[in-house]
Structure 1
Amino acid sequence: MITQPIFLVGPMGAGKSTIGKLLAAQLGLPFADSDKVLEDRTGADIPWIFDVEGEAGFRRRESEVLKDLCTGEPQVVATGGGIVLMPENRALLKAHGFVVYLRASLDQLVERTSKNNNRPLLQVADPKAKLREILLQREPFYSEVADLVCDTDDCSPRQASTMVSDRLLSSVET
């Protein structure tokens, strides 16, 4: 039985939102996307927040949303890719939920993010180089907070959600 939030972490393009919705349905839990919650609260999209407040302003708002999502209520939460950058966020994730790191290769991340212009950090001349830089910076943090690591490269979102569900339920039972 799931008794706490399940937080999905990983880089943009790992499948947190897509897999999260499927996982929540499989487990019969509510789903929340921290980026969507942030946009709903502010009435602005993430690129606009980045433009007006910069990354620091966005990260501050992101932390406020995470605190509110750490209610202890069982739910599946897809987090923003950079949520792990702040030590206080990593502490919140570890203290208030079960954390699943959805890992994907650089090539997969490039392919999955190439058609989405709603990713402010990738609005650069060389998105692959930027993704590589992001992975190098954040991967240690994803691993640090993870209770479970699932590779999403060679599976569909449905296969990935089933894999996470199976592994999650078996780890809860032990």
Structure 2
Amino acid sequence: MLPAARKPLVLIGLMATGKSTVGRRIASRHGWRFVDTDTAIVDRHGPIPAIFADVGEPGFRQLEAGIVSEVFTAVEPGTVISLGGGAVLNEGTRRLLESAFVVFLDADLSTVMPRLAGDTGRPLLARDPVETWARLEQERRPLYEALADAVVDTRNASEETVADRLDMHLRHHLKTEDKDQRP
């Protein structure tokens, strides 16, 4: 078990890269709090496909930015936050990430497609999941890489392996954080 980090751990990356699953595992492993912003949106506003149908992607992104801001306002040491794949598109969210330890969970299409098979809860993938995911990956990768303090490769790795890789980065971050706090 690791001590609680002063900064929140924020997981970013495209849909189905394991942010929620691994985030829960890391939080449980260390006794930390876990927040999934997509779950917070659903709890407050209803299913994401219904939100997209009612207000479109721009309306959804506005709701998402508000939830992310609320989460960061209430963040405490030892918090793991899983952001929706497109949350980083918002400039305000990107500014909030400056106060966090940000980890990009990186995957490829062959890793995520089995996870997406039959998933009807992802409106952006409703028409052509393969082409859309590949396009989003190409568009967003530079942003994820620029925001990340660390990158964890999830390609063909078990949840446990990804969590172990993430822990390695966390241990390094906590050592650095501890050094930065010394007089």
For normalisation by structure 2, the TM-score amounts to 0.89
Q: Distance in 2 between matches of 1:34 and 1:28?
A: 19
Query: 1:157 maps to what in 2?
Result: 159
Aligned counterparts, 1:41-60, within 5 A: 41-42=44-45, 44-60=46-62
Aligned counterparts, 1:1-174, within 5 A: 1=3, 2-42=5-45, 44-71=46-73, 72-74=75-77, 75-94=79-98, 96-124=99-127, 126-174=128-176
Larger Rg, first or second structure (1 or 2): 2
Q: Check conservation: 1:27, 1:165, Cα contact below 8 A.
A: no
How many residue pairs align between the two structures?
171
Q: Distance in 2 between matches of 1:170 and 1:85?
A: 28
Q: Check conservation: 1:7, 1:98, Cα contact below 8 A.
A: yes
Q: Check conservation: 1:26, 1:165, Cα contact below 8 A.
A: no
Identity of aligned residues (%): 36
Q: Distance in 2 between matches of 1:115 and 1:10?
A: 21
For normalisation by structure 1, the TM-score amounts to 0.94
Q: Distance in 1 between matches of 2:30 and 2:142?
A: 28
Task: Name structure 2 gaps, 5 residues minimum.
Answer: 177-183
Q: How big is each residue's C-alpha offset from its partner over 1:51-84, in whole Å with a ceiling of 9 and x where there is no partner? A: 0010000000000011111134131111100011
Q: How big is each residue's C-alpha offset from its partner over 1:87-124, in whole Å with a ceiling of 9 and x where there is no partner? A: 22111112x21111000012212222123110000100
Q: Check conservation: 2:111, 2:156, Cα contact below 8 A.
A: no
Q: List 4+ stretches of structure 1 deviating above 2 A.
A: none
Shift of 1:166: 2.1
Q: Distance in 2 between matches of 1:90 and 1:108?
A: 27
Task: Name structure 1 gaps, 5 residues minimum.
Answer: none
Shift of 1:12: 0.4
**SS of the residue aligned with 1:70?**
helix
